[in-house]
């Protein structure tokens, strides 16, 4: 069970890191940059459903923040489920 707990934590931490890097890269790299294109392929399938529900406010997109919160919630629920 400890290995499964560890795996869940690592996956959530890596995904959170990728989301943060993606959010920062949108301010640093142009849309046609190869790094940004690869990050978009990874993160956008998770962000697009959130973007449909939560609109941008001004020029700020809250979908990465909401995705990180959802990842943390999923991690918490999975770890609680495993500990039962």
- The pair phi, psi for residue 6, each rounded to 5°, is -65, -45
Under DSSP, is residue 58 helix (H, G, I), strand (E, B) or coil?
A: coil
Q: Calculate the alpha carbon distances from 75 to 35, 49, 82 in Å.
A: 27, 19, 11
Q: Quick one: average pLDDT of 32-61?
A: 92
CA distances from 11 to 26, 51, 78 (A): 23, 23, 12
For the chain, the structural domain boundaries read 2-83
Predicted confidence (pLDDT) per residue in 11-26, tens digit? 999 999 999 999 999 9
Q: Is the pTM of this model over 0.75?
A: yes
Mean pLDDT along residues 20-45 = 93
The more confident residue out of 30 and 1 is 30
Bridge partners (DSSP) listed for residue 57: 60
pLDDT at residue 42 greater than cutoff 90: yes
């Amino acid at each position: 069970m400890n290995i499964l707990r560890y795996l869940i934590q690592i996956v959530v931490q890596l995904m959170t890191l990728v989301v943060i890097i993606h959010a920062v890269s949108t301010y640093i790299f142009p849309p046609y940059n190869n790094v940004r294109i690869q990050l978009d392929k990874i993160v956008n399938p998770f962000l697009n459903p959130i973007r449909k529900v939560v609109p941008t406010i001004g020029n700020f997109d809250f979908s990465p923040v909401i995705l990180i919160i959802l990842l943390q919630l999923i991690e918490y629920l999975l770890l609680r489920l495993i500990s039962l």
